[in-house]
Structure 1
């Protein structure tokens, strides 16, 4: 199925021959959100082309419903544990790649700021004539046949949105207005409104949403006491506050909220779009740097983003109206008072602009 494709170090790109395009991005939610301007750019330059996307299961809701995409291919990474046996995950991936190869794509693009062997393999397995991606270096040069149109990685620190578009610029594709896109459906918005109404949250007053987001294995977290101090300060000011988290954190977060003896609504869902709909209905979103931050930016909610070791030049929420807080490489150097002051400032600016 995935027989070796003829590999040239350089291949003249003929834009007029492109009828079918596959964009591949196989990493995390925030990365895929930052790639969505690439889809609009491709549609602008190839208005009649069939455009498809290949992503992993974790991120499929980012691109489902995207108006610039004709088809979404999804596969499951073995490490995500959907299937009991690794071989089952590989077999399922093989079936997806067989479908892709049968589509006879003219152009396949691996969107990442650095070379990834796993992504390069997916692009190569598509069988596309033109295969575009970041040039491998060092020990990865043995995978150089994965691509036949190479892109030199950027050396300067620029935002991931620009780094993604940098790959497309190699084939003359760019766009002036770079907009994130995460399509929400009516069902997502209806469930959000029901949750807020059920919990006595109304749009007459601003709604502040705090996201409890922890990646302990990566050292990316904010101390629980900081969240509680922020909630206490906001409640004392008469603010409407909701808390949002991932399903696997819900029990832990519920226990924390109970310590406050105030009725703070807690929301969690396995649906990324439902999560995004709740965030969209809020006036300010507070979160650690990561996927939820990029989701909030995509649905247009002003965000207070807490950064530690990650570089805001690359990973800040895209667009205007957001605020980045950083005091070194540890997010816990940011105090609860810093966050409350940032929230007040954002609400004041919103009131002044109204």
Structure 2
């Protein structure tokens, strides 16, 4: 048995879809398991002991038919028996077909169903606390065998040397591990998934006022540096003195290592929040109004993993609106999600996590 799992695009998606490998390895210990991903997402699945091989797909192939066909011929030579295409777009559907695998699983869509031998529709209501993003992916395994578990937790297998190196670099930059260290995802993957700059700054000001001697690291994409600086400049002088802008990790693997040294994560829901959870770092996430909380609210427990959504405070605000309509007016809906509302839930989370850290220190 030789299985190819396909998941392109976003970091959070690639990390979340990696849960399939642990379940597959436990069920089929002798199987060869490959993961087709894009190069920028590689750090979140490196060192995963359940994956035999990472197949790196250059997205530029989508724009070059000749090179795409050549890739298809190379993939066919692998002799895959099964393909699980989580992405299920035209390009990955064609790759699934190129493999020649007798079992090809994908999402049911009018324009791609032809590529698969069996299709699945997205789960609408969660059956567990794992969240729809988890259950949606795990259902694909039912196409192989019926007794697979319904959920599994994403994990990042960080090399200890990477974490030690990150700790040394942070200490050299002035960070003290005797004080709370907070990773803040100040921006989401797009403007429509980013809490407004002035609101984020106000939230950080409130946090600094409540958490004595806290230290803050920023996370954002390198192309968002201007927006991140705007958030920094919106903060009070006291808050700015707690933010280590110069310790920003430009590379994903460095962010992962830095995050692993932190006491908690707060910020926009997305890849960074998913990484924190996979590292077992307590997380507090702010969902975009256009995203369903029960989809990406992975393993929410009201304790170590907490999140907020506009619907938590104003249930009627989004009623009857499509995702497209909400996204179009994302800025207006974000305005309704005022910092005071969020901090009412964030403060108890902060106190609990920091208090627990303090108690563990003196045990």
TM-score, scaled to structure 1: 0.81
Task: Give 3-state SS (helix, strand or coil) of 1:154's partner.
Answer: coil
Separation in structure 2 between the aligned mates of residue 70 and residue 250 of structure 1, nearest angstrom: 36
Residue 235 of structure 1, aligned match among 178, 199, 208 = 208
On the 8 A contact 1:110/1:133 being kept in 2, the answer is yes
Size of the aligned set, in residue pairs, is 322
Structure 1 residue 208 and structure 2 residue 185: aligned? Answer: no
Q: What is the alpha-carbon root mean square deviation over aligned residues?
A: 2.7
What stretches of structure 2 of length at least 5 have no aligned partner? 312-317, 319-332
Tell me the equivalent position of 1:264: 243
Paired position in structure 2 for 1:335 = 338
2:325 alignment counterpart: none
For residues 2-36 of structure 1, the C-alpha deviation after alignment (integer angstroms, 9 at most, x for no partner) is: xxxxxxxxxxxxxxxxx211111123211121112
* Equivalent in 44, 48, 52 of residue 66 of structure 1: 48
Given the superposition, is the C-alpha separation of residues 273 and 96 from structure 1 closer, same or farther in structure 2, using an over 3 Å criterion?
farther
Cα deviation code 1:144-186 (max 9, x no counterpart): 3311133344343552111100111122162377121222224
What is the alpha-carbon distance in structure 1 between the residues aligned to residue 357 and residue 337 of structure 2? 23
1:46 corresponds in structure 2 to 28
Show CA shifts across 1:39-96 (max 9, x none).
1011111101111011122322222221101101011223xxxx9x932xx5554444
The superposition leaves residues 302-345 of structure 1 with CA deviations (integer Å, 9 ceiling, x where unpaired) of 11110122111111133651111122363443333433514234
Contact 2:268 2:285 in 1 (8 A): yes
Judging changes above 3 Å, is the alpha-carbon distance between structure 1 residues 99 and 64 closer, same or farther for their aligned structure 2 residues?
Answer: farther
Q: 2-side partners of 1:306 and 1:290: how far apart?
A: 9
Q: What's the counterpart of residue 86 of structure 1? A: 63
Contact 2:249 2:255 in 1 (8 A): yes
When normalised by structure 2's length, the TM-score is 0.79
Matched, 1:127 2:106: no
1:107 partnered with 2:78: no
Kept in 2, the 8 Å contact 1:23–1:110? The answer is yes
Mapped to 1, the partners of 2:70 and 2:43 lie a distance apart of 21
Write out per-residue CA displacement over residues 120-152 of structure 1, whole angstroms, 9 at most, x where no aligned residue.
222112221221222333xx2xx4331113334
Residue 299 of structure 1, CA deviation: 1.0
Query: 201, 207, 225: which is aligned to 1:250?
Result: 225
Q: Is 2:221–2:250's contact at 8 Å kept on the other side of the alignment?
A: yes
Q: 1:247 to 1:349 in 2, by over 3 A?
A: same
